[in-house]
Amino acid sequence: MINKDNHRMIGIILAVVGASFWGLGGTVSDFLFQQRDIDINWYVTARLLISGIVLLAIYKIRNRKSSIFSIFKNRHHIFQLLIFSIFGMLLVQYAYMASINYGNAAIATLLQYIAPVYIIIWYVIRRKERFQAFDFIAIMLTLSGTFLLLTNGSFSALVVPMPSTVWGIISGLALAFYTLYATRLLTTFPSILVVGWAMLISGIMMNFKTPVWQFEWSALTVSTSLYLTFGIIAGTAIAFFFFVNSLNYLTAKETTLFGTIEPVMAIVASAVWLHVTFQIFQLFGILLIITLILALSFKKQNATE
């Protein structure tokens, strides 16, 4: 019988490994794009298709009496799933990978993690929440940190390629939409089922642009195969499953806090493994954004208490 301490430790391990896999998955993708010439369109197609199938298979194994097609019984749910798949899942995944492709995983992950600030701004604009002192601080941290990250303190030039910046911002906006819109489906269906179908549907759509079978299989080495396996399965499907499954052992506030390991892991892995260097003001910008992420996590924790 698992005692309380071991029960919590299992949750911590799942949350940390899941968030770490997410962060490392981005860095592995960066390596595949820059050093193994993997086409981003093919990679996004494969990543979504395979991860979607894996998550749906996991759901079915864990819920043998439940149908994976239950989400398609209502036309309204089908419409919501399609919107979520296209403007949420597909746009988040593609924009994030494009930002990595033109820049690096650390920058792309940090730009994506600004999404909660977009959500704050959206709620204030819609007058669903009052503008508070914390919101002002969060926005200032975002603007200051992002400015330093992208320019290294210079008003005249970017130190991050413009395409990477644009795609990174799009990724953050798409993640904000993903987060807000997903609640409509997640109140009715398990998250693994919703995300699994969203990945599979968006992967099928990408397959029309770049079929997954259109790949130079003759040039595939053992090491590249291992990196692809990690990036596609461990860095996406398994990472999501571990992180969501940690909620069975931890509170939502604890899981949220452990999730902040993702951008830290992406930064460390990029610096140590891919030898990505950051200038002094960029490092200060990274510190501001990490502070923002932690502050948002603690705020979310308090909201759940």
Whether residue 16 lies inside any domain: the answer is yes
Residue burial 116-141, b: 16+ Cβ < 10 Å; e: rest: bbbbbbeeeeeeeeeeeeebeebbeb
Tell me the percentage of the chain whose pLDDT exceeds 90.
57
Predicted confidence (pLDDT) per residue in 76-93, tens digit: 999 999 999 999 999 999
Name which of 18-22, 34-38, 147-151, 152-156 the model is least confident about: 152-156
Q: Taking Cα atoms as reference points, which of 44, 48, 30, 46 lies closest to residue 212?
A: 46
CA-CA distance, 272 to 275, in Å (whole number)?
Answer: 5
Tell me the two tokens of residue 44.
């996004």
Position 44 pLDDT exceeds 70: yes
Beta-carbon neighbour count of residue 143 at 10 Å? 13
Name which of 8-12, 159-163, 275-279 the model is least confident about: 8-12
- In this prediction, residue 124 carries a pLDDT of 82
The whole-chain average pLDDT of the chain stands at: 88
Residue type, 250: L
- In this prediction, residue 225 carries a pLDDT of 94
Query: Which alpha helices (DSSP H) does the chain contain, by range?
Result: 4-35, 40-62, 75-83, 91-102, 105-112, 115-125, 133-151, 162-186, 191-209, 222-229, 239-245, 252-258, 261-272, 280-304
Whether residue 4 lies inside any domain: the answer is no
The reply to whether the predicted model has a pTM over 0.75 is: yes
Q: Taking Cα atoms as reference points, which of 257, 266, 264 lies closest to residue 294?
A: 257
Name which of 128-142, 149-163, 219-233 the model is least confident about: 128-142
Position 100 pLDDT exceeds 60: yes
- In this prediction, residue 141 carries a pLDDT of 84
- In this prediction, residue 231 carries a pLDDT of 94
Mean pLDDT calculated for residue range 35-55 = 95
Mean pLDDT calculated for residue range 246-259 = 75
CA-CA distance, 23 to 250, in Å (whole number)?
Answer: 21
Q: Taking Cα atoms as reference points, which of 104, 93, 95 lies closest to residue 33?
A: 104
- In this prediction, residue 8 carries a pLDDT of 78
CA-CA distance, 126 to 130, in Å (whole number)?
Answer: 10
Cβ atoms of residues 59 and 68 within 8 Å? yes
- In this prediction, residue 143 carries a pLDDT of 86
Say how many residues make up the chain: 305
Whether residue 3 lies inside any domain: the answer is no
- In this prediction, residue 300 carries a pLDDT of 58
Whether residue 6 lies inside any domain: the answer is no
Position 299 pLDDT exceeds 80: no
Mention every residue, 6+ apart, whose C-beta is less than 8 A from residue 216: none
- In this prediction, residue 253 carries a pLDDT of 65
- In this prediction, residue 115 carries a pLDDT of 87
CA-CA distance, 277 to 97, in Å (whole number)?
Answer: 20
Whether residue 5 lies inside any domain: the answer is no
Position 50 pLDDT exceeds 70: yes
Position 193 pLDDT exceeds 90: yes
Number of domains in the chain: 1
Cβ atoms of residues 149 and 107 within 8 Å? yes
Position 41 pLDDT exceeds 60: yes
Whether residue 1 lies inside any domain: the answer is no
Q: Taking Cα atoms as reference points, which of 88, 145, 135 lies closest to residue 111?
A: 145
- In this prediction, residue 9 carries a pLDDT of 85
Mean pLDDT calculated for residue range 228-248 = 89
Structural domain boundaries enclosing 75: 11-304
Mean pLDDT calculated for residue range 53-70 = 94
Cβ atoms of residues 27 and 105 within 8 Å? yes
